[in-house]
Amino acid sequence: MDPQAFVVATLAAHVGFAIFVTAHASLTDREVGKWPFVTLAFGLAGIAAYFFYDGSSDAGRI
């Protein structure tokens, strides 16, 4: 795969992931917050953070 095609495919995937995160938050009445932007930047890692990060929890804070 040439580099230009890779960049275009990666950009398309990240935009699609961000749309998915936004749609999921809207459908489940969940606060979307910063997660579409994180997903645009980091792709699958952003999706994982959106689903597994619990900002309302005080667990582990010092």
Residue 57 domain-assigned (yes or no): no
Instruction: Report the number of distinct structural domains present in the chain.
Output: 1
User: Helical H runs in 1-62?
Assistant: 3-27, 35-42, 44-52
Tell me which amino acid residue 51 is: F
Any domain includes 34: yes
CB atoms within 10 A of CB 18: 21
pLDDT per residue of the chain (62 residues) written in tens, 0 to 9: 799 999 999 999 999 999 999 999 999 998 888 999 999 999 999 999 888 886 665 554 55
Instruction: Return d(Cα 47, Cα 15) in angstroms, integer.
Output: 12
Residue 20 lies inside a defined structural domain of this protein: yes
| Domain extent at residue 32 | 16-51
Is residue 60 a part of any domain in this protein? Answer: no
Q: Is 22 inside any structural domain?
A: yes
What pLDDT is stored for residue 53 in this prediction?
85
pLDDT at 1: 79
Q: Is the pTM of this model over 0.85?
A: no
